[in-house]
Chain A
Amino acid sequence: MIKAVMVMNTQGKTRLAKFYEYLSVEKQQELIRGVFAVLCSRAENVSNFIDAESIFGPDSCLVYKHFATLYFVFVFDSSENELAVLDLIQVFVETLDRCFKNVCELDIVFNYSKVHTILDEMIFGGQVVETSSSEIMKAVEEISKLEAASNAITLIPKSASGWRSR
């Protein structure tokens, strides 16, 4: 089972954190910090695995992928296949990319709720529920339509993302 999904930038700012087992906020933050401390010291061109047991306790594995300014981190137990989870990160990122057209960190920051929805269509209670990026998109669009039916949509133009990013 997948225990947690985290997205953080190279400065250690959390962009998304979803834990599939209940943990207190303090514990969540401690784990995120622990993961970042290891990730930021990793060189390029090394494996996508780090030792997770020292952070998450026994029977945990961690796979991450580094894209531009972001780390995508999945934590899971031995019932999952490491490389399959790595593929899943790829599907997640590809779906975000489809959704935001050349996704960048700011898309994820400002569309926090949408990123959540995408993740929920892909991982359900710690299990993979959908692996096809087009199926995920279909489901997300469906939800968007339902929301749009009741909301006045205020689109944030992409250019606005130039706001003094740090």
Chain B
Amino acid sequence: MGEMEQMKKEAEALKTQIEAARKAVHDTDMASAAAGVAPAPQVQLKTRKTLKGHLAKIYAMHWSTDNRLMVSASQDGKLLIWDSHSGNKVNAVPLKSSWVMTCAYAPSGNLVASGGLDNMCTVYNLKTPVIKTVKELDAHTGYLSCARFLSDTEILTSSGDTTCALWDLETGKQKTVFLNHVGDCMCLSLSPDMNSFVSGACDSLAKLWDVRDGQCKQTFQGHTSDINAISFIPSGNAIITGSDDCTCKMYDIRADQEVICYQDAALNSGVTSLALSTSGRLIFAGYDDFNCNIWDSLKGEKVGVLSGHDNRVSCTGVPEDGMCVCTGSWDSFLKIWN
């Protein structure tokens, strides 16, 4: 038998082995296990602020760790830094390329980053007298879909070139490249302990990676279309994904499988974004149908909806203190709800 044939056979055998191992631990699913849990209260949140200022579709937003400032990115070619308590704009950062797809706030509050169809991740210092570009991270051969700072010296990116990368912000070079997806990487989420991260891609797979050694540890399947949004739950033991297949799913890391699917026959729009409340009980998922649906993460039931945008909800975010949820939309507005 040629080596190619042997490899194919071994690959098939390993896939069968993985499926059998998953089945062997599948003694229940999340919704059944949570049958005895009291339902989450019906959640009725009000719009507390509507942030007006962008002149075109908003593609991304990210909270600062101070729970007050946030950054948003729009294809009007600007990053805006907002004081969410007053609704005022604190800073505007003009972008070299207006085709922005992502933005991020560093945990220190000193830096923000943006990137998009320019294939680059640009990092800006907010604390210099005039906002300065400190680095242009240029090595991806596809669009930048997501960026997240680990610190003022390291940032993770995901790209349409199917890779993710960890960059050293002092040298501007890639330290580690994460190779395994076969479709555009659309989103990433860092684990609470920052030792690993998960990525979602157009190959409909989510993958768990070790930040330091670059190794893909686990692959989660089940979605039937692009995964656009991904987030660790606060305990770090599970992840939530949102997809163009109109569903969200929870995958448990230690059980290595899907444990619940959040879907509704009446929902036939793709999921664009998602964020979790601090206990992990509530999932806020933004959809193409202009709404943000609220799901009970344990029971799989819809418990509320945030309606108010006049176009697709493209981004959602809950600050660390969990005091509100922010939605950003192609209608050019951001709304703060609680």
| Chains A and B are bound partners | no
A: residues with CB less than 8 A from B are: none
B: residues with CB less than 8 A from A are: none
